[in-house]
Structure 1
Amino acid sequence: MSQPSRSSSIPAVALDEQALIQECEVKFTRRGGPGGQHRNKVSSAVVLKHRPTGVTAEASERRSQAENRSVAIARLRVELAIHIREEVEEFVAPLVRQYGGSQFRVAIGNEVYPVILADVLNRTLASEGDVAAAAEFWSTTASQVVRFLRQEPQTLSVVNQARQQAGRHRLK
């Protein structure tokens, strides 16, 4: 977990699609997957490497390069949320009313999911893996935050590393 070396004041996870792509090295390759007789004839797989952070994401399961690009961008945002600590509070403050509360639910496919994930991780990791800080901010319970973190298996691993270093028990 690190801080990126970027000039933009907007966190990478909150950048619009075009600005995020400009910060990335984009590579088109051939991969196995669906496509029938067109398989391995067209470079439809997309690999994105975020230059300031080195975080990568790829998508190759769709036949269309444009669809794979969209999937790769969504995956890159989630990877950035998990591995890069940037302040996102000003971007999530307006979202608390809509997504916070007792039923703290945000679908992985939702465009705001990576920003909310980044905030939950920031708050949880700042308090040595204690999810109570995130729960309080989002007006929900610790168990709802844990359920939210379970949506993306890597996140629970990151939180459990912080908890282990702080001498806390692992979350399941």
Structure 2
Amino acid sequence: MPDSDPLTNPHPASWPTEKLLSGCDTQRTRRGGPGGQHRNKTETAIVVTHRESGVSGQASERRSQLDNREAAVFRLRLNLAISLRCDKPVQDEAALPSEMWRSRAVGGKLVVSPKHADFPALVAEALDWVFAYQFDLSSAAKQRLGLSTSQLVKFLKLCPEAWQLVQQNRVDAGLPRLK
């Protein structure tokens, strides 16, 4: 699990690709399915596994190993964002979201596509703050993330796994499910 200081050791989902892959095992394999003979004859499927956590991402839908590698790394980042938490300093009133978050949270709205390379890192940061505020989305949104509660909910719903994680943890904490 990452060090608790978000400035010196940010969430693995936000690491540069080279740094992330240096801590991962990459496996090339064959996968069945549509794509013609070329796809079934060569090892174009990619599975990337983060050694420290065991979290993985995989892709096999393209005939290009490079395209599948990029998709697998993106999925790994998203899976890491959902699976790993970095401690956020709730008691430190001066603690701010990352520069990436602040550059995307403009006018109380977070602007990012779920397909953009920054999306997994933003999901990780949102989840870290939501967990730090014990699933009080209103406090996390307004006090730390510079968003309205509805904007935070809308953002988390872009990643169904993240939204499900928040909902389940709210139920486990005795809080009502959100709509």
**How far apart are residue 87 of structure 1 and its match?**
4.9
* Residue number in structure 1 paired with 2:125: 119
Change (3 A) 1:143 1:108: same
**How far apart are residue 103 of structure 1 and its match?**
2.5
Distance in 2 between residues matched to 1:81 and 1:96, nearest whole Å: 14
* Residue number in structure 1 paired with 2:165: 158
Structure 2 gap ranges (5+): 90-94
Q: How big is the alpha-carbon RMSD for the aligned residues of Structure 1 and Structure 2? A: 2.3
Map 1:41-60; keep pairs closer than 5 Å.
41-60=41-60
* Residue number in structure 1 paired with 2:92: none
Give the partner amino acid of 1:13. A
Q: Percent identity?
A: 38
Change (3 A) 1:122 1:130: same
* Residue number in structure 2 paired with 1:80: 80
Change (3 A) 1:95 1:39: closer
- TM-score, normalising length: structure 2: 0.84
- TM-score, normalising length: structure 1: 0.87
Distance in 1 between residues matched to 2:112 and 2:72, nearest whole Å: 19
Is 1:99 the counterpart of 2:104 in the alignment? yes
Distance in 2 between residues matched to 1:30 and 1:158, nearest whole Å: 32
Change (3 A) 1:22 1:133: same
SS at match of 2:109: coil
Change (3 A) 1:28 1:146: same
Is 1:148 the counterpart of 2:158 in the alignment? no
**Larger CA deviation: 89-98 vs 160-169:** 89-98
**How far apart are residue 73 of structure 1 and its match?**
0.4
